[in-house]
Amino acid sequence: MPINTVHIGAGAGFAGDRPGAALAVAEALAVAAQQGTPAFLIFEMLAERTLALAQLERRRDPDAGYSANLAALVQPVLKLCLQHNIRIIGNFGAAHPQAAARRLRAMAQELGFKDAKIAVVSGDDLSARLTPADLAARETDGALLKDRKDIVAANAYLGAQPIAEALAAGAQIVVTGRVADPSLVLGPLAHAFGWDWSDWDRLAAGTLVGHLLECGPQVSGGYFADPGCKDAPDLDRLGYPIAEVRPDGSAVITKPEGSGGVVDLRTVKEQILYEIHDPAAYLTPDVVLDLTGVELAQQGPDRVAVSGARGHARPDTLKATVCFESGWFAEAEISYAGPNATARARLAIDIIRKRMAVLQPGLSLRADIIGVVSSFGDSAGSDLAAAVTESEDVRVRFATRHAEAEVAKLLLAEVEALYVAGPAGGAGVRRHLVPQLASASCLIERDLAAPRMELLP
């Protein structure tokens, strides 16, 4: 019997997403699954640098290197998903998908599912195949990789095909490393509906559904509320999104009944354009998506119909992200409050700039006054210099970055010394120093990545 609807939900939109948020989605999917509708739950947990951090973990511990939040996010829904054949697809494999798959198998066995089928998608890791010089030659924007030796991770964004193959092989859980975020959704849709890998309009439609789901609740009322202007109710129990997808790729975006948040034209429009450059050409490994003809219609409370995506042939190259070590980042803050607080804050900045110019000439240093201008301001400080806002409760924030930790620490020591050697009433110093990873983008030939799928034996 041909399938006429697939339900697919998002359980996480980033590595640090909320444990337990997926449960209401899984419960709604279970109802659909019981009525015979194929159901899938995706977890997107891999930002640009997350994978490099995982690679560093794997260097320290050969059994680590997958998402630290894997168990916290998947455990609450695992039993329900395995019971009701809600198939899970997640990029929580990070730098070590095999280890993540073994962990998931152990979790399933503890729940009494001895033979859960778990697949691993790999081949995104380029570090064994491309030298730093090979990568530098393929860098797209700038020359950050030139002569660089300290590369931590180099991964291509794989597409949806190996995910669909894993599902065709019967996998109940598909663990990936780096794949394009929308491919986590396109893989199950292409598998369920049997879409051809050159049916560009359907691949585009499925990619659009993936794009709308990949950031979890950002389409269902998260990253949205502006009180009195555009409200979203009950955000404390924000519902994560579910797409009900038709064989032509058109879909209704919704969320679990009774959950908080909102799905309306405004939330969907904001997410359609999120992190988009040219709306006529959104590039993924699977297709080039053209959003310009997309039509939306509110079909009822928290139900928005999405149609009209168009597709063009997929790009010849794959995007890859290369991460490398990038020195130390130091940040320190101090508060000033009460009469003339802003003037005392400005004096503190003046003192620190002069002291640091003597201690470490040429060090790049940023200073903000939180409460006057900080988020909007430029790093050179011209917005802060021009600001006329006065506040009686401000926080001064300093930041620097340097290859040597000892140099970055000089700033931390000087900010702490403002307690005794700065303006009156300086309070509440907090400081931290963290190693930094930076990233660069490359375009690589498709045959340099080697996507493969294997079922865990």
Partner 1 sequence: MSDALLPTVSLHRIAHARSGDKGNRLNIALICYRPEFFDIVAEQVTPERVAALFASRHVGRVQRYELPRLWAFNFVLDRALDGGVNASLGLDGHGKSLSFKLLTLPVRLPASLLQSLITDQP
Stretch that binds partner 1, among 71-79, 119-127, 299-307, 394-402 (CB under 8 A): 394-402
- What number of chain residues touch partner 1 (CB under 8 A)? 51
275: contact with partner 1 by CB under 8 A: yes
327: contact with partner 1 by CB under 8 A: no
Q: What is the dihedral of CA 134, 140, 142, 145, to 10 degrees?
A: -30
**Shortest Å, Cβ 103 to partner 1:** 29
Residue 244 or 368: the one with the smaller Cβ distance to partner 1 is: 368
**Shortest Å, Cβ 405 to partner 1:** 16
Stretch that binds partner 1, among 21-29, 151-159, 202-210, 430-438 (CB under 8 A): 430-438
Stretch that binds partner 1, among 56-64, 164-172, 343-351, 438-446 (CB under 8 A): 438-446
Candidates 7, 49, 314, 402; binder of partner 1 (CB under 8 A) is 49
Other Cβ atoms closer than 10 A to 456: 16
Residue 143 or 380: the one with the smaller Cβ distance to partner 1 is: 380
293: contact with partner 1 by CB under 8 A: yes
294: contact with partner 1 by CB under 8 A: yes
399: contact with partner 1 by CB under 8 A: yes
Stretch that binds partner 1, among 11-19, 80-88, 189-197, 226-234 (CB under 8 A): 226-234
Could you tell me the two tokens for 443? 């375009």
Stretch that binds partner 1, among 181-189, 379-387, 420-428, 444-452 (CB under 8 A): 379-387
The 3 state secondary structure assigned to the chain is: CCCCCEEEEEEECCCCCCCCHHHHHHHHHHHHHHCCCCEEEEECCCCCCHHHHHHHHHHHCCCCCCCCCHHHHHHHHHHHHHHCCEEEEECCCCCCHHHHHHHHHHHHHHCCCCCCCEEEEECCECCCCCCHHHHHHCECCCCCCCCCCCEEEEEECECCHHHHHHHHCCCCEEEECCECCCHHHHHHHHHHHCCCCCCHHHHHHHHHHHHHHCCHHHHCCCCCCECCCECCCCHHHECCCEEEECCCCCEEEECCCCCECCCCHHHHHHHHCCCCCCCCCEECCCCEEECCCCEEEEEECCEEEEECCEEECCCCEEEEEEEEEEEEEEEEEEEEECCCHHHHHHHHHHHHHHHHHHHCCCCCEEEEEECCECCCCCCCCHHHHHCCCCCCEEEEEEEEEECCHHHHHHHHHHHHHHHHHCCCCCEEEEEEEEEEEEEEEEEEEHHHCCCEEEECC
Candidates 115, 141, 147, 316; binder of partner 1 (CB under 8 A) is 141
Stretch that binds partner 1, among 78-86, 146-154, 372-380, 445-453 (CB under 8 A): 372-380
148: contact with partner 1 by CB under 8 A: no
Candidates 266, 303, 409, 446; binder of partner 1 (CB under 8 A) is 266
- Angle between the 405-421 and 341-359 helix axes, to the nearest 10 degrees? 140
Q: Considering only residues 231 through 250, tell me which ones interact with partner 1, judged by CB under 8 A.
A: none
223: contact with partner 1 by CB under 8 A: yes
Stretch that binds partner 1, among 76-84, 168-176, 205-213, 358-366 (CB under 8 A): 358-366
391: contact with partner 1 by CB under 8 A: no
Could you tell me the two tokens for 403? 């290859």
**Shortest Å, Cβ 378 to partner 1:** 4
Closest CA to 189 of 267, 276, 87: 87
**Shortest Å, Cβ 408 to partner 1:** 11
Could you tell me the two tokens for 349? 């900045």
What span, in angstroms and rounded, lies between the C-alpha atoms of 212 and 210?
5
295: contact with partner 1 by CB under 8 A: yes
**Shortest Å, Cβ 233 to partner 1:** 16
Residue 123 or 217: the one with the smaller Cβ distance to partner 1 is: 217
388: contact with partner 1 by CB under 8 A: no
368: contact with partner 1 by CB under 8 A: yes
312: contact with partner 1 by CB under 8 A: no
139: contact with partner 1 by CB under 8 A: no
**Shortest Å, Cβ 364 to partner 1:** 7
Closest CA to 221 of 237, 235, 242: 235
409: contact with partner 1 by CB under 8 A: no
**Shortest Å, Cβ 367 to partner 1:** 9
Contacts of 64 (CB under 8 A, 6+ apart): 54, 57, 58, 96, 99
Residue 86 or 365: the one with the smaller Cβ distance to partner 1 is: 365
Q: Which residues bind partner 1 (CB under 8 A)?
A: 49, 141, 223-224, 226, 228-230, 266, 269-280, 291-296, 326, 364-366, 368, 370, 374-380, 382-383, 397, 399-401, 436-439, 441
